Amino acid sequence: MTDTPILIAGAGAIGSILGGMLHDAGHDVTLLGRRAHLDTIARRGLRISGLLGNRTVAGMKLADDPAKLGGRFGLILCTVKSYDTESIAAALSDRLADDGVVVSMQNGLGNIESLIETFGQRRVLGARVIFGAEMPSPGCAHVTVFAQPVAIGPAPALHREDSPALAERARTIAARIDAAGVPTVAVNDIMPVLWTKILYNVALNPLGALLQQTYGALAADPDVRPIMDRAIDEAFAVARAVGVALPFSNAAEYRKVFYEELIPPTVSHRPTMLHDLHVRGRTDIGALNGKIVALADRFGLEAETNRMLTRLIRAAERAGEKTEN
C-alpha cells in the first residue's frame, strides 16, 4: 500500500488536514469536497495551521463530484458527516480497489456498518478521530486541539474471522498517517475506542451547540454538569448492554477521567455541531445521542436525557430552517 492512491472522501477540516499532511509526506492524494474550498486550493494550495504545524500544500488532485474522479483508490478515508455515509458509499462503490480499504473517520455509531453494506466487511476499518479542526476560510484548515492520537482498527464483533487480517492492514495505514505527522495508532478492536468517544460526544456536542459554550464552560456550569453526567450514565449503560468492552469499570470511573483528563486539553474548544447547526442547518445528532436512544429502546433501558438532547437539537435544526425561509 506504499504507493497506492489515497482518496479523502469529504475534504472538510479534518479530511483536508489528513489529506494535506499525507500529500506533503509524498503520497498520491485526491481531495473530494466542496467547490469553493477546492477552487481556492487549486489557486494557492491548502494552508494548514495550528497544533500540527504550519504549511502550504500544493499539487493534490481535486474533485467536487465523485463522477469526476479518475481511477480507483487503494485507500479511502471517509470523513463525511454520518448522515452522508450511505450516499457517499454508493457514489464510490466502484472507486475502491479490489484489495483496497475504506476507513470510517467519522463521529457517531453505525458508519462502519453502512460502509460494510457497500464495500463488504473485508474492506472496511473504523477509526476514532479526536482532534479538533476548523476551516476559517476556503482553502484553509486549522488544528485547534489534539486530545489523543487517531486510532484505527477492525471491529471483531462485525468483522469476525476477517479481524486479524484487517488489524494488520490497520497497522500499515496507521504507520503511514503517523509518519506523515498526524499521531496515529492501530488497535485490535476499534469499538471500545469509538464508544469511549461517544461518551464524550453525547455529553458535550449537543449542549455546546445549544448553549454556544466551550467544553470548559459546560463542565464548570453547576446546572449543565448534572445533565452531562446523566447523558454519560445512560450511554455507558447502553454500551454495556451492547457488549462493548469499555476500559472503565463503571460510569463514575469514566466521568472522573472525562472531567480530569479529557476536558482540560479541550477546555476552549467548541463542538463542530455548533458550526453545523448554524452553517449547515443539519447535525449528526442521529448518530450520537439519537443512536443511544435507539439502542436504549431496543434493550429496554432509560435514555431520557439523551432523548431530550436529541429532540432539542432537532428542534433547533427546524428553527433554523424557518429562519432561513
pLDDT tens for residues 246-279?
999 999 999 999 999 999 988 998 999 999 999 8
Q: What is the mean pLDDT of the chain?
A: 95
> What's the pLDDT band for 324 if we cut at 50, 70, 90?
low
Rounded mean pLDDT of 162-176? 98
pTM of the entire predicted model: 0.93
d(CA 274, CA 281): 10
pLDDT at residue 1 tops 50:
no
CA distances from 141 to 119, 170, 230 (A): 29, 26, 34
Active site residue 197: yes
Residue 103 phi/psi, 5-degree rounding, is: -115, 120
Give me the catalytic one of 61, 81, 197, 291: 197
Of 73-82, 176-185, 236-245, 259-268, which gets the smallest average pLDDT? Answer: 259-268
Helices within the chain (DSSP H only)? 13-24, 35-44, 85-91, 111-119, 156-159, 163-179, 191-211, 215-220, 225-242, 251-257, 272-275, 289-299, 304-324
Rounded mean pLDDT of 158-169? 97
CA distances from 77 to 57, 124, 278, 310 (A): 18, 10, 26, 28
Rounded mean pLDDT of 91-96? 97
**Helices 289-299 and 304-324, axial angle in degrees (round to 10):** 140
pLDDT given at position 325: 47
- Residue 221 CB neighbour total at 10 angstroms: 15
d(CA 194, CA 145): 18
> What's the pLDDT band for 118 if we cut at 50, 70, 90?
very high
What's the residue count for the chain? 325
pLDDT at residue 72 tops 90:
yes
pLDDT at residue 149 tops 80:
yes
